[in-house]
Amino acid sequence: MKKVFLGALALTFALSVTSCRETANKTEEAAENAENAIENAAEETAEATENAIEKAGEALNEAGEALENAGEEAEEAAEKAVEEADKALEKAGEAIEKAGKDTKDAIKKN
Protein backbone atom coordinates (compact mmCIF):
# COMPACT_ATOMS: atom_id res chain seq x y z
CA MET A 1 0.00 0.00 0.00
CA LYS A 2 2.89 2.23 0.81
CA LYS A 3 4.33 1.65 -2.68
CA VAL A 4 1.00 2.52 -4.30
CA PHE A 5 0.72 5.65 -2.22
CA LEU A 6 4.32 6.69 -3.04
CA GLY A 7 3.75 5.85 -6.68
CA ALA A 8 0.64 8.03 -6.75
CA LEU A 9 2.57 10.87 -5.11
CA ALA A 10 5.42 10.48 -7.61
CA LEU A 11 2.95 10.51 -10.51
CA THR A 12 1.21 13.63 -9.12
CA PHE A 13 4.58 15.34 -8.70
CA ALA A 14 5.61 14.46 -12.26
CA LEU A 15 2.34 15.84 -13.65
CA SER A 16 2.73 18.98 -11.57
CA VAL A 17 6.26 19.61 -12.91
CA THR A 18 5.07 19.01 -16.48
CA SER A 19 2.15 21.39 -15.97
CA CYS A 20 4.48 24.08 -14.60
CA ARG A 21 6.78 23.70 -17.63
CA GLU A 22 3.81 24.09 -19.98
CA THR A 23 2.65 27.19 -18.09
CA ALA A 24 6.17 28.63 -18.23
CA ASN A 25 6.36 27.90 -21.96
CA LYS A 26 2.96 29.50 -22.55
CA THR A 27 3.98 32.56 -20.52
CA GLU A 28 7.19 32.89 -22.52
CA GLU A 29 5.27 32.52 -25.78
CA ALA A 30 2.74 35.16 -24.70
CA ALA A 31 5.58 37.54 -23.80
CA GLU A 32 7.18 37.01 -27.22
CA ASN A 33 3.83 37.60 -28.93
CA ALA A 34 3.34 40.81 -26.95
CA GLU A 35 6.85 41.96 -27.87
CA ASN A 36 6.20 41.27 -31.55
CA ALA A 37 2.89 43.13 -31.39
CA ILE A 38 4.60 46.14 -29.80
CA GLU A 39 7.33 46.13 -32.45
CA ASN A 40 4.75 45.89 -35.25
CA ALA A 41 2.70 48.71 -33.74
CA ALA A 42 5.82 50.89 -33.45
CA GLU A 43 6.76 50.22 -37.09
CA GLU A 44 3.23 50.97 -38.29
CA THR A 45 3.15 54.17 -36.25
CA ALA A 46 6.48 55.27 -37.72
CA GLU A 47 5.24 54.55 -41.25
CA ALA A 48 2.00 56.42 -40.63
CA THR A 49 3.94 59.38 -39.25
CA GLU A 50 6.26 59.42 -42.27
CA ASN A 51 3.28 59.28 -44.63
CA ALA A 52 1.54 62.10 -42.78
CA ILE A 53 4.68 64.26 -42.94
CA GLU A 54 5.09 63.50 -46.64
CA LYS A 55 1.43 64.38 -47.36
CA ALA A 56 1.74 67.60 -45.37
CA GLY A 57 4.85 68.55 -47.35
CA GLU A 58 3.05 67.87 -50.62
CA ALA A 59 0.10 69.97 -49.49
CA LEU A 60 2.41 72.85 -48.58
CA ASN A 61 4.12 72.65 -51.97
CA GLU A 62 0.78 72.69 -53.76
CA ALA A 63 -0.40 75.63 -51.67
CA GLY A 64 2.81 77.51 -52.48
CA GLU A 65 2.38 76.84 -56.19
CA ALA A 66 -1.25 77.97 -56.03
CA LEU A 67 -0.22 81.22 -54.32
CA GLU A 68 2.50 81.77 -56.89
CA ASN A 69 0.06 81.20 -59.75
CA ALA A 70 -2.52 83.48 -58.13
CA GLY A 71 0.14 86.20 -57.79
CA GLU A 72 1.09 85.87 -61.44
CA GLU A 73 -2.55 85.98 -62.53
CA ALA A 74 -3.20 89.03 -60.35
CA GLU A 75 -0.19 90.78 -61.87
CA GLU A 76 -1.41 90.01 -65.40
CA ALA A 77 -4.91 91.25 -64.55
CA ALA A 78 -3.48 94.48 -63.12
CA GLU A 79 -1.38 95.03 -66.26
CA LYS A 80 -4.44 94.51 -68.45
CA ALA A 81 -6.46 96.92 -66.32
CA VAL A 82 -3.74 99.58 -66.68
CA GLU A 83 -3.62 99.04 -70.45
CA GLU A 84 -7.40 99.35 -70.71
CA ALA A 85 -7.36 102.50 -68.58
CA ASP A 86 -4.63 103.99 -70.82
CA LYS A 87 -6.72 103.19 -73.89
CA ALA A 88 -9.81 104.74 -72.31
CA LEU A 89 -7.88 107.90 -71.39
CA GLU A 90 -6.46 108.10 -74.90
CA LYS A 91 -9.95 107.78 -76.41
CA ALA A 92 -11.29 110.37 -73.98
CA GLY A 93 -8.49 112.74 -74.96
CA GLU A 94 -9.22 112.18 -78.65
CA ALA A 95 -12.91 112.80 -78.02
CA ILE A 96 -12.11 116.06 -76.19
CA GLU A 97 -9.81 117.19 -79.03
CA LYS A 98 -12.51 116.36 -81.58
CA ALA A 99 -15.12 118.19 -79.55
CA GLY A 100 -12.82 121.21 -79.30
CA LYS A 101 -12.17 121.14 -83.02
CA ASP A 102 -15.87 120.75 -83.78
CA THR A 103 -16.62 123.70 -81.51
CA LYS A 104 -14.02 125.87 -83.26
CA ASP A 105 -15.42 124.85 -86.65
CA ALA A 106 -18.94 125.66 -85.49
CA ILE A 107 -17.83 129.09 -84.25
CA LYS A 108 -16.07 129.82 -87.52
CA LYS A 109 -19.18 128.93 -89.49
CA ASN A 110 -21.33 131.31 -87.52
Instruction: Please state the pTM of the whole predicted model.
Output: 0.47
**Statement: residue 24 has pLDDT above 70:** no
Structure confidence at residue 15 as a pLDDT band (50, 70, 90):
low
Does 80 or 26 have the greater pLDDT score? 80
H or E element: which one contains 110? none
Coil, helix or strand at residue 1: coil
Q: Give pLDDT tens digits for 2-13.
A: 676 666 656 566
Does residue 27 have a pLDDT over 80?
A: no
**Alpha carbons 11 and 45: distance in angstroms, whole number:** 51
